Amino acid sequence: MPEQHPVRIGGSEVTTAESTVVLSPYDGHEVARIPVCGPEHVDRAVAAARAAMAEPLPPWRRAAILDAAADAVAAHRDELAHLIAEEAAKPIRTARTEAERAVLTFQSAAIEARTLTGEVVPMDGAQPGDGKLAFTLRVPRGVVAAISPFNFPLNLVAHKLAPAIAAGCAVVLKPASQTPMSAIRLHEILMDECGLPPGWVNVVTGSGGTVGDPLVEHPDVAVVTFTGSPEVGWGIAAKAARKKVGLELGNNAPLIIDASGDWAAAAAKVSVAGYSHAGQSCISTQRVYVHRSVVEDFTAALVAKVEALVVGDPLDEATDVSALISPGETARVKAWIDDAVREGAQVAAGGEQRDRLLAPTVLSGILPTMEVSANEVFGPVVGIAAFDELDEALGLANDTRYGLQAAIFTKDLDAALRAASELDFGGVLVNEVPTFRTDQMPYGGVGDSGNTKEGPHYAVREMTHERLVVIAR
Ligand code: NAP
């Protein structure tokens, strides 16, 4: 039987009597065996994090660790990409891009560590402040509990660890049970090659109920940073009422293409943006509202590109789309496609399932009431609907409980400005798909998409508080 791969808590390697077997979503082969941690491991990990914070790391050391992390992730790019591809069935080229993005995440956090500062307060602007000098200091809030999802098992872990290190906060990380190995390996690299002392990051593996709940509720945890589904995220916020809770949740990202928009460029981008990692991205392009005058052209261009996508083994360099994370998820997405067809949508491409693989699918004539429109598909499905007036398209795009990112293709400045002011989302993109993200930008949603912004510059501010210092003459 293969050996269990330990996790690290404080300076120790931890194994448990029981193992969780991590399986490839593509062909079911065993990727690794990992510990099944329990509440006692959460207690140990939080205690190790508190002990680490008792000896603060000065900002220049945090920056040096983060610079080293960027270099080390770059050096381990292929190894990390291979792990992501195996455990998440993310096609290897896309997995490599994720590893490259994690390099940028660490680089950008190193800049924050070097420049994090408070502000000077103009005390003498009001008479009672006369003669007083005041400024704020950015102080680490305390131990951070980081909980990450399966779909970016490396870079979304980096988006939690890197700003926490920059902020001077120690972390207890609970990675997704389906994809823990990228996180475990990153942790080893940080400790063994980048100078991260024991206790600053601790990993506990186990289910949401067994380790997630005690972690979120632990009295010595000050900050919870969570990326995942709205159901779990808002549940955590309710349980952690006295903590700082940052939630990055789901979306059903809309894209508008108006009559002036470059529909051919949009089709080329959507053929990637709707199907990357089989649509399992929180900003996967899902609903496309196209002006009636160009909807046929756009649909034909998109279908031609989608039918050329290579579906198969994530470790094959040629593959564009592989399996969804589990057979249960594949069955759910297939059922949503079938329901949409029963309710009047037409399959313009794909629609069928072969074993664990769902064909990249384009649906025409989607309605707001269909599951594939109203909820987050999280599968390789793009739905199209025609519109006549921009008002109608803006209304359809806004008709959602989510609000992460939305986009418009247009050459009309007025339409672009209206989209920017009227689309009720955390980010609005013009002549780009809603799936665009670069790692230093402020990224986060409103409504059921969350309550915070990630990107190291923003996350560091969530993980610190501003202490006011007043000096009287
Ligand atoms: P999920 O089921 O909500 O799980 C996310 C994490 O929460 C996992 O580590 C999970 O552990 C843990 N968890 C589950 N129950 C918990 C509990 N009671 N207490 C504490 N932790 C608990 O989400 P997912 O299926 O992995 O990811 C997909 C979702 O993430 C989608 O909705 C997607 O849109 C969203 N997402 C959002 C962003 C963003 O930045 N806005 C980015 C990526 C993904 P187990 O794995 O052990 O169950």
β-pairing, 143-147 with 221-227? parallel
- CB burial of residue 229 (10 Å; 0-12, 13-18, 19+): middle
For the CA atoms of 188, 191, 192, 194, what is the dihedral angle to 10 degrees? 120
* Cα(230) to centroid(ligand 1), Å: 8
Residues with CB under 6 A from ligand 1: 147-152, 156, 174, 176-178, 207-209, 212-213, 216, 227-229, 232, 235-236, 248-251, 282, 376, 378, 404, 450
Bridge partners of residue 169, in order along the sequence: none
pLDDT of residue 387: 98
Active site residue 248: yes
Q: Could you give the CA distance from residue 337 to residue 344 in angstroms, rounded to a whole number?
A: 11
Check: CB of residue 26 under 8 Å from CB of residue 323: yes
Ligand 1 pocket, mutate which of 229, 248, 404 (most atoms under 8 A from CB): 229
* Cα(88) to centroid(ligand 1), Å: 14
CA 390 to chain centre: 30
**From 37, 169, 194, 282, active-site residue:** 282
* Cα(364) to centroid(ligand 1), Å: 30
| Whether pTM exceeds 0.85 | yes
For atom 43 of ligand 1, which residue has the closest CA?
Answer: 282
Ligand 1 pocket, mutate which of 22, 23, 42, 147 (most atoms under 8 A from CB): 147
Q: Could you give the CA distance from residue 33 to residue 67 in angstroms, rounded to a whole number?
A: 31
* Cα(164) to centroid(ligand 1), Å: 19
pLDDT of residue 473: 87
Q: Which atom of ligand 1 is nearest to the CA of 150?
A: 26
At 71, give phi and psi (nearest 5°): -65, -40
* Cα(119) to centroid(ligand 1), Å: 35
Max intra-chain CA distance, the chain: 77
* Cα(121) to centroid(ligand 1), Å: 40
Query: Along the 473 residues of the chain, how does pLDDT read in single tens digits?
Result: 679 999 999 999 999 999 999 999 999 999 999 999 999 999 999 999 999 999 999 999 999 999 999 999 999 999 999 999 999 999 999 999 999 999 999 999 999 999 999 999 999 999 999 999 999 999 999 999 999 999 999 999 999 999 999 999 999 999 999 999 999 999 999 999 999 999 999 999 999 999 999 999 999 999 999 999 999 999 999 999 899 999 999 999 999 999 999 999 999 999 999 999 999 999 999 999 999 999 999 999 999 999 999 999 999 999 999 999 999 999 999 999 999 999 999 999 999 999 999 999 999 999 999 999 999 999 999 999 999 999 999 999 999 999 999 999 999 999 999 999 999 999 999 999 999 999 999 999 999 999 999 999 999 999 999 999 999 98
Q: Which atom of ligand 1 is nearest to the CA of 239?
A: 19
* Cα(175) to centroid(ligand 1), Å: 9
Helix (H, G, I), strand (E, B) or coil at 98: helix
pLDDT of residue 1: 62
Active site residue 282: yes
Ligand 1 pocket, mutate which of 282, 325, 436 (most atoms under 8 A from CB): 282
Complete DSSP assignment for 404-443: SEEEEE-S-HHHHHHHHHH--SSEEEESS-TT---TTS-B
Q: Could you give the CA distance from residue 473 to residue 463 in angstroms, rounded to a whole number?
A: 32
Q: Which domains does the chain have, with CATH numbers?
A: 7-249+450-472 (3.40.605.10), 254-438 (3.40.309.10)
**From 86, 87, 98, 248, active-site residue:** 248
Q: Which atom of ligand 1 is nearest to the CA of 454?
A: 40
CA distances from 228 to 127, 149, 421 (A): 49, 5, 27
